[in-house]
Each structure stands twice: as C-alpha cells, then as structure tokens.
C-alpha cells in the first residue's frame, strides 16, 4: 500500500466523569487521553493531546536519526 492511499481512522471514546464533564482517549492509542467539561471541549482537548504527542515523538525521533535519514511528510485529513 502506498502511504498516499492510507486512510487512518481513530476511534475517540468519551466517558462521563464522576465529578462531571468527560474523560476521553483514543482506542488505538490509549496513552493519548484528555478531559473536558463538555463533549466539545473534551474533543478539542483530545485533538490537542494527539498533536502534542505526535510532535514530541517526531522531535525525539529526529534527535536520534542519522544525518543521512530520508524523511517524507504525508498529510492526513480527518473527516
């Protein structure tokens, strides 16, 4: 499969929190989680968490990669 043809679907799980609001995570990446007072706030915060974790891992990988490593960027758009 070509990376350009890759379609990635993530499943966000939102659960009511006992203290109010919602906790949330991705089924595929349970280490990425967040919370919010409303579903919309939780959704926004979860997207921010995904972005931060992705940026962290990218930076870490680049700091360890050899100078001759070839990188390609692929834009994936959520629907």
Give pLDDT, residue 78.
67
Q: Residue 30 domain-assigned?
A: yes
What's the whole-model pTM score? Answer: 0.83
Give pLDDT, residue 26.
97
For residue 60, report the phi and psi dihedrals to the nearest 5 degrees: -65, -45
Count of the separate structural domains present in the chain: 1
For residue 12, report the phi and psi dihedrals to the nearest 5 degrees: -90, 135
Distance CA 60, CA 18 (A): 36
Q: Residue 71 domain-assigned?
A: no
Domain span at 41: 3-58
Q: Which of 43, 37, 52, 53 is nearest to 78 (CA)?
A: 43
Distance CA 22, CA 34 (A): 9
Tokens of 30: 């349970």
What CATH number does residue 48 fall under? 3.30.160
Tens of pLDDT, residue by residue, the chain (79 residues):
677 677 888 999 999 999 999 999 999 999 999 999 999 999 999 999 999 999 999 999 999 999 899 988 877 776 6
């Amino acid at each position: 499969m070509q990376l350009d043809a890759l379609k990635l679907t993530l499943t966000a799980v939102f659960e009511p929190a006992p203290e109010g609001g919602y906790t949330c995570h991705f089924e595929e990446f349970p280490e990425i989680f967040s919370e919010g007072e409303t579903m919309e706030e939780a959704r926004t915060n979860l997207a921010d968490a995904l972005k931060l974790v992705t940026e962290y891992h990218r930076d870490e990988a680049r700091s360890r990669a050899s100078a001759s490593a070839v990188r390609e960027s692929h834009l994936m758009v959520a629907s």
